[in-house]
Structure 1
Amino acid sequence: MRRIWGSACLVGLSMAVLALGPARDEALDLSVLSRIRDEGFNRSKVMDTASYLCDVIGPRLTGSPAYKKAHEWTRDQLSAWGLEARMEPWDFGRGWTVEHVSVHMTQPAPAPLLAVPLGWSAGTKGAVRGKAMKVKLESEQDLANYRGKVTGMILLNGEAPTLKVHERAEYDRYSEEELVELSQYRIDPSRGGAPGSPGVNYRNEYARRRQFTEALNKFLAEEKPLALVAAGENDGGNVRLIRGSQRAGESSPVPHLVMAAEHYTRIARLLDRNMEVELELDLRVRFTDQEEKGYNTVADIAGTDLKDEIVLLGGHLDSWHPGTGATDDASGVSVVMEAVRILNALEIKPRRTIRVGLWGGEEQGFLGSRAYVTQHLATRAEPTDPEERKQPEFMRRERGELQLKPEYSKFSVYFNLDNGTGKIRGVYLQGNAAVQPIFEAWLKPVADLGATTTTLRNTGGTDHIPFDSVGLPGFQFIQDSVEYMSRTHHTNMDVFDRLQREDLMQASVVMAWFAYNAAMRDELVPRKPLPPQNPERRPPTD
């Protein structure tokens, strides 16, 4: 997800580089790179892997049967390629699967409608018909105004969007000028806890939304409308999913769907004409009766003289359910699997163990990668303030003391890929100036592939964050957006056909090269200082 923290106050990177002093030359074995390129470009399996995940297994919502099947398949496939693979469980919550959704307008003119349910939404228990009604449910006062008026209705919640002509291409790659600009550091405005700062504002807004969601769900359970429908953010039949929650009491007690913008606006115009609109909805979902486990697929290429030290590569295996989770994140998973397949096919004997981590629960808040960090590397004591303990970890002002586990000192680096199908253009360094000359040396031999840029800026929204938050080197690669934010991210169009073969082959080669260098260098990848116990928190990204 291409979300970068920071804006304003440009500072040249040259000063940061000079402050480091002369960088020690990295010992690079370019003959190994030649072999990596040959295997990755001439015998690639990256698209075969992606097709199996997207076409055979399909969407992989955390806690669903398909999600577990994906972990079992990746474990078995990595084992077949010669890695030592296993599934590591962690506690998740309710499982949910959508089995059928059908929405039609029956009056005043029959028409099929495109809509997608939120995750963990209630179903209809058979086809239901009801009159459409426009509402605005945005505050507790709104809820009070509609009491006694919505029973048995299908509610269109919110104003109809205004659809405009697309004046620019939805396809996007970094230009050289944009990469130069990206390499320039920007001071993060969310730092500092003064009133009005983004970090404080986000916490307040999050608390407000959570409180309102509880009130909305109580209202829906008591007033019993047939369904709640929101307009999709995108247009052109592209439906982007808004969030759903697996937690009991936080998911919608009535069917809650997002409808294609063009279909929503048509119904809204009919209602504005004071015409009666009848809709038919059939939503079949299945909840599991017990709390489900989440999983991480973990697999190793065993190291040699430094085998206790770990170089970790990862992406998230879970997805949302409207499409098949191709660019978010079957692409990253397939690249990571291809990178270790390449290295194992070449019978590379790395000094450090090269480990794959295919995470679950990323879409619910980095749950799988956070579980890995907790199980293997470091934990924090719970806050002393009971109100703080009620907050999600990323929203807490108070964080307990960092408690390090034995594996912490043996951890070298984590490389993550989760910004769509685009090729790798460089690395976000998360403010770690010590790694800049190292990664720049690694990038030079693959500059002809388009991977050229480092930036000390932070990026968020994906699974490197749990590692970075405990002081370990964790990095997301810079990637071309292609159609990620415009067309595929969390939408019904996130399908195999949107994957770019050459980009994923390039990313696999670059990933393998970075993994090899990290595994072979004499020293661990440099770390930033340990994070303070109670820093001001950055707002997370979606």
Structure 2
Amino acid sequence: MRINNVVKMGVLGVTLLSSTFMQAQQSNDPIIDAIVKEGTENSQLKRYAFELLDVIGPRLVGTPQMMQAHNWVKDEYQAMGFEARNEAYGTWKAWDRGTTQLTMTYPRIKSLEGTQLAWSPSTKKNGVEAEVIILADVADKAAFEAWLPTVKGKIVLISMHQETGRPEYQWEEYATKESYEKMIANKKAATEAWAQRIKNTGYTAKELPKVLEEAGAVGIVMSHWSGVVGANKIFGATTERIPTVDIALEDYGLLYRLAENGKQPKININAQSKDLGTTQTYNTIAELKGGEKADEYVVLSAHLDSWDGGTGATDNGTGIITMMEAARILKEVLPIPKRTILIGNWGSEEQGLNGSRAFVADNPEIVEKTQTVFNQDNGTGRVAYLSGQGFLNSYQFLTDWLHAVPQKYKQDLKTYFPGSPSGGGSDHVSFVSKNIPGFMMSSLSWGYGKYTWHTNRDTADKIVYDDVQSNAILIAILAYKASQEEELVSRERIVLPLTKDGERQKWPESKGPKRTSNE
């Protein structure tokens, strides 16, 4: 997921309605009472999380674990009585993460905390050992090209050195005002200086690893600190022959200071991974067939893939298990809904919403008759924000459905109507761009942005099950109400406002998926 925890409040900041639904009410609907009872007394969330996160683990597109996850989800839905299938939509580079061992061998022996990036090339059996140097601080591209030959046989540090590993909130709480302000100023200056250092090379930060590889470097080391103690962002490697690793802030700083002060540190990178060529990519689709309007759909949406620094627990394991649980509950209490409940477990969201975009492109007859889409993809917290996504009449049908939800499950929920359409962020956008009312079930943060989003700390222990259970019950009720409507809800869109340049804003463009990793 591309992080988007703050819901747009109306169009250009204009909120037409905000509601917290504080009126106490009791359900007069036995189906809703049964949903609450089933979700409370027979929750399967912990079992789902254990199998998906602890047993299967991270689900990087193209890995054997991703295929294992597709099959597990499919089998679970079939065991519940759903029709379920894996739908192929393209191919991707296939790779299997192995072990990463990082050791400083000079001027002293020390194990280092870190890991290879996704799709990093493997090293030889005993790893590669070399001196560590820092990316040069040069005046221009010509000077950088003159420096490049010095990287031959070396391991290059390409991230900024962080002078403090304490998060800003600790400085704000404990430091003197003068000390805090000094730290902020120094960090700003260091960030700007490092950005200029990168710019002066004539290459982007994304291009540099391959440039250094071509010049003869034997390894690339970075440290993408999130700003929280112990948490680093772990993305993908761009090198093709040499390993790219991310090292924790504390150990990266040690190497940087040693190199900066002429101690010529050495490290051994032993990164064992497997290049498996190419493999097919899939979405896993499950359907609870409807009755009277079986050819119309309510879609429960979550992406199955993840980055693999952790196990993808809050991005997006929690979304997957929430939708599985909501679907399970509905199957138990409403075995034949009016409309078909379709659950989209999308692949390759992290590489550009590819799975959901492929589904939308490949299944126009389903998309055309989709009532609404409920998507979850931003952590473990209770659903607290719901935007109308620019659909003019979203206030009417969403608040009608929410009216039926018991107070306990919506007491923190704020709505924003009509809102404005998301241009990116998660899989609901694939449907919104096709004029289908799709809604992000936006959650309370729980430190998501810096603590778990795409980090090495996105693991099962970060799940708050009380909140996830609440979400599953809420979404099951909304799906039930949406399914039982007499007609498809309105697709009428608002007229978007002018930009600051006086041009009319445009509805999000429907984009096709990347069907191969070469696109």
Q: TM-score range by the shorter chain?
A: 0.7 to 0.9
Q: Are the aligned partners of 1:3 and 1:461 in contact in 2 as well (CA < 8 Å)?
A: no
| Paired position in structure 1 for 2:276 | 288
C-alpha displacement at 1:371, in angstroms? 0.8
Which residue is equivalent to 2:133? 133
> Residue 407 of structure 2 aligns with which residue?
447
Alignment size in residue pairs: 457
CA distance in 2, matches of 1:236, 1:217: 26
Q: 1:493 to 1:343 in 2, by over 3 A?
A: same
- Residue 236 of structure 1: how far off its partner (Å): 2.5
Percent sequence identity over aligned pairs: 30
Q: Which residue of 1 aligns with 2:396?
A: 437
Give the structure 1 partner of residue 450 of structure 2: 486
1:402-421 equivalences under 5 Å are: 406-421=365-380
SS of corresponding position for 1:361: coil
Mapping of residues 320-399 of structure 1, within 5 Å: 320-377=307-364
Matched, 1:241 2:228: no
Bigger shift: residues 42-51 or 157-166: 157-166
**What is the aligned-residue RMSD (CA, Å)?**
3.0
Query: Matches of 2:383 and 2:469 in 1, distance apart?
Result: 10
Counterpart of 1:177 in structure 2 is none
- For the pair 1:85 / 2:73, whether they are aligned, the reply is no
Deviations 1:395-428 (A, max 9, x none): xxxxxxxxxxx33431211111100111112422
CA gap of 1:67–1:213, structure 2 versus 1, over 3 A, is: same
Give the drift of 1:12: 3.9
Distance 1:535 1:251, change over 3 A: farther
Query: CA deviation digits over 1:78-115, x for unaligned, max 9?
Result: 00011111110111321112111010111112111111
* 1:364 alignment partner, SS class: coil
Paired residues of 1:320 and 1:490 also in contact (CA < 8 A) = yes
Q: 1:292 to 1:441 in 2, by over 3 A?
A: same
Matched, 1:261 2:263: no
Superposed displacement of residue 11, structure 1:
2.4
2:122 alignment counterpart: 123
Give the superposition deviation at 1:243. 4.1
C-alpha distance in structure 2 between counterparts of 1:228 and 1:137, whole Å: 17
1:222 has 2:250 as partner = no
Aligned counterparts, 1:110-259, within 5 A: 110-126=109-125, 127-136=127-136, 143-163=144-164, 165-166=166-167, 168=169, 212=204, 216=208, 218-234=210-226, 235-244=228-237, 251-259=239-247
TM-score by length of 1: 0.78
Deviations 1:435-455 (A, max 9, x none): 123212322333322353212
Q: 1:80 to 1:137 in 2, by over 3 A?
A: farther
**Which residue is 1:176 aligned to?**
none
Equivalent pair of 2:134/2:260 in contact (CA under 8 Å): no
AA aligned to 1:150 is V
After superposition, give the CA deviation of every residue in 1:43-85 in whole Å (9 maximum; x if it has no partner): 1001110111000101111111110010001101100011111
Between the aligned partners of 1:508 and 1:5, the Cα distance in structure 2 is 20
Cα distance in 1 for residues equivalent to 2:54 and 2:355: 23
| CA contact 2:433–2:508 (8 Å) conserved in 1 | no
Q: What letter matches 1:81 in structure 2?
A: M
Aligned mates of 1:477, 1:142 — CA distance in 2: 51
Relative to 1, partners in 2 of residues 1:340 and 1:155: Cα closer, same or farther, differing over 3 Å?
same
Structure 1 unaligned regions, length at least 5: 18-27, 170-208, 245-249, 378-405
Q: Secondary structure of 2:272's partner?
A: strand
Cα distance 1:416–1:251, how it changes in 2: closer, same or farther (>3 A)? farther
Structure 2 partner of 1:45: 44
Aligned-partner Cα distance in 1 for 2:202–2:306: 23
TM-score of the two chains, using structure 2 as the length reference = 0.81
Note the alpha carbon deviations across 1:438-490, whole angstroms, 9 max, x for none.
21232233332235321214444111111111211111112111131131111
**Which secondary structure does the structure 2 equivalent of 1:461 belong to?**
coil
1:311-338 C-alpha deviation (Å, 9 max, x unpaired): 1101111111111111111100000000
